[in-house]
Amino acid sequence: MLKRFRENKATQGTLLISPTLIFMIGLLLIPLLLTLVISFGRRAPDGTVIYDFSFDNYIRLSGIRTECANGAAVCFDPIYAEILTRSLTLAFNTTVIAILLAYPLSYFIARAPAKKRNTYLFLILVPMWTNFVIRVYAWMMLLRTQGVINSVLGWLTGLVGLSFTPLEILYTPSAVLVGMVYEFLPFMILPLYTSLEKIDLSLYEAAADLGANRIRTFLRVTLPLSMPGIVAGTILVFVPVMGTFIVSDLLGGRQIVLVGNLIQNQFLIARDPTFGSTASLVLMSLTLIVTYFYTRKFGFGEEIISA
C-alpha cells in the first residue's frame, strides 16, 4: 500500500496541490461565482439579497432608463458611463506618466555598477512597501491649502517679494492623479528595470559600430527590448488604479467617483450588494479584456513577478 503510494506520482502531486486548490476554489473561484449569481439578484428592502435571474443591475449600470423625466419611453443616464470612462482615463494617464517617470530611473539602475544596483533598488522598495494608506496621508499633508507645497511656494514667492494665493490642489482630479502615480510608480520601475537589465551590452557596441546615434540606438535597441517590462508594468499599474478607492476617497474628497468608489459605496453605504457585485464583475471583465489584448499584442514575460 505504502509502496504503491510512493510510486504513484500523480497521487502525490494531487496531495501536495490540494491545500492550495481548496483555498483557490473556496476563496477565489466560489466567491467570484457567487458574485456573478448575486449580480442577477435583487436587493431586499433590508439590504439582503433576493436570489433571482434578472438583468436589472446590468441595465441600470448601462444607463438605459425606462422612467424618464421628459416622458420618453427610453432615455440614457450617463452617470455610470461617466464613472467608467473617468476610471479608464485615469488609469491610462497614470500608466503613461508612470512609464515616463520610471524609464530613465530604471535605465539608470540597470546600467549602474552591479554592486550599487541593490542599493538603488532598495531605495525603490522602501517607499513601495510603506503602507498605501500612509502614503496617501503624506500627500494629504503636502497638497492641503495650508499644506507643505503651498507653504514652500508661499515662502519662495515671499523671498522674491511677490504675493501668493495658495493653490487649491487637494480634492481635485490632479490630486488623485498625483496620488495614483505616487502609489503605483514602483510597480512600473521594477519590471522595467528587470527587462532593461537583461539587455546584452554588446548590442550597443554593435549599434555604435553600425553608426547609429543615441536616439536611433534607443528607438531600435533599448525600447523594443524593454517592451516586456513596459507590458508587465502597465498591467501592474493599470489594473490596480482601476479598482482603487482610497486615493480618490481621500485626495479627491468624494467628488471624484471611480469604479472602486462605486463598488465600495454599494456595499457599505447604499447597501445594495447585488448592484455592487455587478459593478465588481464589470470592473473585472474590463481589466481582463485590457490585460488579454495587451499581452496578446506584446507578449507576457516573467517580468510580471519581478515586482
Partner 1 sequence: MNPHRRSPFVLISTALVYFFLYAPIIVLIIFAFNSSRTNVLFGGFITKYGPLQMDGSTVTQSPCGQFHWFCELAKNSEVKTATKNTLTIAIISTLTSTIIGTLAALALQRYNFRLKSFSQVSLYIPIVIPEIVMGIGILVLFSQLFSFLNNSLSLAGDARLTMGLSTVILAHIAFSIPFVTLIVQARLQGLDRFVEEAAMDLGANELITFWRVTLPSIMPGVLSGALLAFTLSLDDFVITFFTTGPGASTLPIYVYGLLRRIITPQVNALSTVWVLVVFTVVLVSQRIQNRGT
- Minimum distance from CB of 75 to partner 1 (Å)? 30
- Residue placing its CB nearer to partner 1 in the complex, 60 or 103: 103
- Residue placing its CB nearer to partner 1 in the complex, 72 or 145: 145
- Residue placing its CB nearer to partner 1 in the complex, 246 or 270: 246
- Minimum distance from CB of 55 to partner 1 (Å)? 19
- Minimum distance from CB of 184 to partner 1 (Å)? 12
Residue 45: C-alpha distances to residues 40, 58, 186, 266 (Å): 16, 19, 44, 14
- Residue placing its CB nearer to partner 1 in the complex, 32 or 75: 32
- Residue placing its CB nearer to partner 1 in the complex, 60 or 144: 144
- Minimum distance from CB of 160 to partner 1 (Å)? 22
- The grid cell for 14 is 494531487
- Minimum distance from CB of 77 to partner 1 (Å)? 23
Report the distance separating Cα 25 and Cα 305, nearest Å.
22
- Minimum distance from CB of 295 to partner 1 (Å)? 9
- Residue placing its CB nearer to partner 1 in the complex, 7 or 74: 7
- Dihedral sign, CA of 167, 168, 174, 177? positive
